[in-house]
Structures are given as C-alpha cells and as structure tokens.
Structure 1
Amino acid sequence: MLNDIKKDATTRMAKSVDGFRQELTKLRTGRATTALVDHLKVNYYGSDMPLSQVATVSVADARSLLITPWEKGMVAAVEKAILSSDLGLNPNTAGTAIRINLPPLTEERRKELSKHVHAEGENSKVAIRNIRRDAIQHVKELLKEKQVTEDDARRAEDEIQKLTDKHVKDVDDVVKAKEQELMAV
C-alpha cells in the first residue's frame, strides 16, 4: 500500500515537471523553434485543427520559421491563427509559404520572460508540494486505520519528502537552464 502511494506520488510529480517543461517550450527565446507554434489552432473547414496537421513547420534559419500549408486555401487561415495568437508575431506571406521572422528580444522583454519562467516554476513547485501533502495524508490515514506501523509511516513520509526534494530540484534546474537560454544574446 505504501509503495502504491509512493509510486503514485512519483508519477504525478514527474508529470508536473514534464508539464512545466512543455509550458516553457511555448516561450519565445532568442532563436527560432517549431515548438513556438505547436499549440496554435487553425480553422480548417469549420473545425479547429492543430497547425502541425494542416501545414509543415520548419526552421528556415536561426531567426525565422517557415510554414507551408498543405492546401493553397489554408494560407489565409494559418496567417489569421498566427496573428490572433498571443505570440505577437507578424507573418509574411509569399505565395503558398508563410515566413515568421523573430525579432531579437530586448533586455526588458528578456527580464519579463525570466520573471514569467520563475512564476511558472513556482507554480510547478506548489503543485509538487500539493502532491506531497496528498501522499502524506494517505499515509496518515493508513496509520490511523492501523494498516501500517508508525515506523513504516515515518519511513514512507521521509521517502516522499526525498521525492519532493528531487522533483523541486528538477524544476529549479529547468528554470535555471531556461533563464540562461533567455539571457544569452
């Protein structure tokens, strides 16, 4: 029973860290990456489709993305999706291809993005701590129902705390790496 609680906590904490990493891929840093537009939805004949299912997205060079819709009629819809997104980018259409030039980040914008990364990291740490609280609560319930001994409960709580510390450190490492990436000129 205690092993199940620890496995569940480990899985949930790992998912929290992975979700945080995934969230950071949407942040625009100094260089172009296809992950920047992965979350965009395009109106495709009345239904919203992910951009990757209606167009080819590639990195043209360090500062630009090239989007090539599979159908000629989709160029306007893709352009509209990019303009209405929260990315703040201006697409340039040339026939059937759309080029997105990523301007260099200003120092002010880098600091703003760094603060955002720290805030998201803190949210992820809070989620991990909530998972720890839930796991320890389950252990205490088992102890209360006399299904485990006090020594086993104490040992399980210590192991859950070690898991929490490990995953919080992982989040800190991700924040530090992303911050270095943002501040690199």
Structure 2
Amino acid sequence: MKNNNFLLKEIKDKMNKILYYYKNKMSQIRIGKANTEMLDDMTVEYYKKKVPLYHLSSIEVINSKTILIKPWEKNNLSIIEKSIIKSNIGIIPINNGKFIKLVIPSLTEERRKEIIKRNNLKLEKAKISLRNLRKDYKKKIMKEFSEKDLMEKYKKDVHEATKEYIYKIEKIFEKKNQEILPT
C-alpha cells in the first residue's frame, strides 16, 4: 500500500463486488411480477453440460405476470421445461410445443413475510462481508504503517467507506421490501 488513494480504491473495488452480488441476488427474488432476472442463474442440462438458460433461448417479459421463453432449437423445449421444474422457483412452466410460458402467481401474505425474512438474512450476510473486509483492511493498515496519525486516518477512511456501502445495501433492501409489501 503506497498511499491512501490506492488503499481506498482497492477496498471500494472489493466493496463494489459485494454490492453488485447483493444487488444481483435481490433482483432475482420473485415478487409477484414478471422479471427475467429471476432466471439469470438457471442452467439447463445440455449435452451433459450445465448451460445457462439464456444461451439456449430468448427470454422476454410479455406482461406484468408472464415470461416467455423461446428456445433457439425446438428440441430443447423439454429439457428447458424440466430444468424450470427442478429449479424450484415455484412456477409451473406451460409448454405449448413452440415456447414455454411462465405465469407468475400472486404472492400470499405468508409468502411475502417469508421472502422478507430471507431478505433480512441476505442483508445481514452482505453487511458481515463488508465488515469482514473492513477488519482485514484495518489489519493491513496496522502492518503497513507505523505512524499513528496516518494509521488512524486510513482506518477512519476504511470505516467511512464501509458505512457508505452498508447504507447502499440497506437502500436496496428497503426498496425490495417495499415492492414485496406495498403500503
């Protein structure tokens, strides 16, 4: 570590990765509205390899409750359908022989509360990741710098960056929960 700018850039790059991962996971949560991001991690067994669903088909939202999956090759319909069923996303695929339609069911109050509970766990995991990163960087600072004033300044900068990113993930969390439990 040569200076504070390098240190802050390095930790913020790592914090951005945590933020991006958290944002991605939150966007995949099914909230009763059609959203193609909920299928981003879905894979299909294709010639004995796991292949992302979007490599084998186009995926589009046709209205607020329906997603349409059009395979590039018609013979992939059944393997895509099986993968959706195995994925446990809670949606029964409708295969009409040309495409697969996913109709997103409305959320029950119980399901909404369950999703919020899981969101709380994801929020806590993201905060823990950020705090662990802060802890690691404070150790690095103590090893690299001998001047007490400089050491304290860098620790403070790392602490402020951590607070900033915790605030960002809390905002994502609040926004998602408002979508799930509209007031």
Structure 1 CA distance for aligned equivalents of residues 178 and 86 of structure 2: 29
SS in structure 1 at match of 2:100: strand
Matched, 1:90 2:92: yes
Instruction: Give, as a single letter, the amino acid of the residue that structure 1 aligns with 2:46.
Output: Y
Aligned to 1:117: 119
Aligned to 2:162: 164
- Quick check: 1:2–1:156 contact (8 Å CA) kept in 2? no
Structure 2 CA distance for aligned equivalents of residues 140 and 38 of structure 1: 41
How many residue pairs match? The answer is 181
Aligned to 2:152: 154
Offset, 1:176: 0.3
Structure 1 CA distance for aligned equivalents of residues 180 and 134 of structure 2: 31
Instruction: Give, as a single letter, the amino acid of the residue that structure 2 aligns with 1:23.
Output: K
Structure 1 CA distance for aligned equivalents of residues 60 and 102 of structure 2: 11
Aligned to 2:63: 61
Instruction: Give, as a single letter, the amino acid of the residue that structure 1 aligns with 2:121.
Output: A
Structure 1 CA distance for aligned equivalents of residues 138 and 3 of structure 2: 10
Q: Which structure 2 segments of 5+ residues have no match?
A: none
SS in structure 2 at match of 1:58: strand
Structure 2 CA distance for aligned equivalents of residues 96 and 44 of structure 1: 18
Structure 1 CA distance for aligned equivalents of residues 11 and 41 of structure 2: 28
Structure 1 CA distance for aligned equivalents of residues 33 and 103 of structure 2: 10
Structure 1 CA distance for aligned equivalents of residues 28 and 162 of structure 2: 26
Offset, 1:8: 1.4
TM-score, length basis structure 2: 0.95
Offset, 1:76: 0.2
- Quick check: 1:5–1:138 contact (8 Å CA) kept in 2? no
| Aligned-residue CA RMSD (Å) | 1.2
Instruction: Give, as a single letter, the amino acid of the residue that structure 2 aligns with 1:50.
Output: P
1:77-133 CA-partner distances (Å, limit 9, x unpaired): 000000000202100111211101111000010011011111101100000000100
Aligned to 1:174: 172
Structure 1 CA distance for aligned equivalents of residues 31 and 94 of structure 2: 20
> What's the % identity of the aligned pairs?
28
SS in structure 2 at match of 1:174: helix
Of residues 88, 105, 108, the one that matches 2:107 is 105
SS in structure 1 at match of 2:21: helix
Q: Which structure 1 segments of 5+ residues have no match?
A: none
Structure 2 CA distance for aligned equivalents of residues 80 and 38 of structure 1: 16
Structure 1 CA distance for aligned equivalents of residues 182 and 64 of structure 2: 14
TM-score, length basis structure 1: 0.94
SS in structure 2 at match of 1:104: coil
